Amino acid sequence: MTEQTALADSRAGHGEKPDGAVVRDALGVGVAVGLSGFAFGVTSAGSGLTPVQTCVLSLLVFTGASQFALVGALAAGGNPLTAAAGAFFLGVRNAFYGLRLSQLLALPRAVRPFAAHWVIDETTAVALAQPTRRSARLGFTVTGLSLYLLWNLTTLLGALGAEAIGDTGAWGLDAAGPAVFLALLAPMLRSTTERAVAGLAVLLGLGLLSVLPAGVPVLVAALAAPAVLYVTGRRRGGARDLAEPGPVEKEDR
């Protein structure tokens, strides 16, 4: 409880932020990202999923990177559980967003199972940027609601549109998936550690492509994270460095 109030107090110092401004910020993010559900709908249809399957993914999974990863892995002919594992590991970051948000929003227990569905990159980024608990709650809710509605609507339009278009490849729509991943990845490459992890992961992901079943190379590439962490930890003298969370620790993107 002390942590919660301390967090709120440190932010309250910046003064109140008008509700209108919070709603504007939240809608800006919600609408811009919500529209990219169209790219997901098209990509998913191009990967061979039916419009119903595509819409169920957006309704029930509702975390974009995992959705793109899943349909990509299925299109490559991966085993369903291997494909789901890759999508799940990408979704694990949302657990850490939830930790930050549960202190910041201080939601009643009964509300948490519902709020949980909206705990994603964008809602976390907007909520953490607010000066007070009240505006954080407002920002979280407006971003979550606008993004959820639009993401699902544009997913449906994309899935139906892809059927009408026919060959999505001719329209270059198969490039939407990797472009989305790159756009999510770019702001994360802040220091040498992140770049080393990304570089090693690319080598593993591409190098193992021809020797392992579809979907598995991505899971092996995830080991680049602990591997680089281990090496940098050793090089800098271990525990001391790891005990001090630097700016790198900010999980909001």
126, 138, 142, 198: which one binds other proteins (CB under 8 A): 198
- Enumerate residues 166-185 that contact other proteins by CB under 8 A: 169-185
- Which of 22, 142, 204, 216 is close enough to bind other proteins by CB under 8 A? 204
Is the CB of residue 65 less than 8 Å from the CB of residue 214? no
What's the rounded Cα separation, in Å, for the pair 84 and 215?
Answer: 9
141 lies in the binding site for other proteins (CB under 8 A): no
Enumerate residues 222-241 that contact other proteins by CB under 8 A: 222-226, 228-229
Distance CA 238, CA 55 (A): 46
Which residue in the block uniquely carries the two structure tokens 């992901």?
205
- Judged by CB under 8 A, the stretch of 19-27, 127-135, 137-145, 220-228 that binds other proteins is 220-228
Residue number, 65 or 156, with CB nearest to other proteins: 65
Query: What's the rounded Cα separation, in Å, for the pair 83 and 124?
Result: 26
- CB-based contact 83:219 (threshold 8 Å): no
Contacts of other proteins in 24-53 (CB under 8 A): 32-33, 35-36, 39, 48-49, 53
Q: How far is the CB of 209 from other proteins (least distance, A)?
A: 6
CA distance 133 to 130: 8
CB-CB contact of 30 with 145 (8 Å) = yes
Stretch touching other proteins by CB under 8 A, among 12-20, 133-141, 155-163, 243-251: 243-251
* Interaction between residue 197 and other proteins (CB under 8 A): yes
Nearer to other proteins, 149 or 202 (CB): 202
**125 scored as a contact of other proteins (CB under 8 A):** no
Read off the DSSP letter of residue 223.
T
Binding other proteins (rule: CB under 8 A), the pick from 41, 46, 139, 217 is: 217
Alpha helices by DSSP H, 92-132: 93-105, 112-115, 121-128
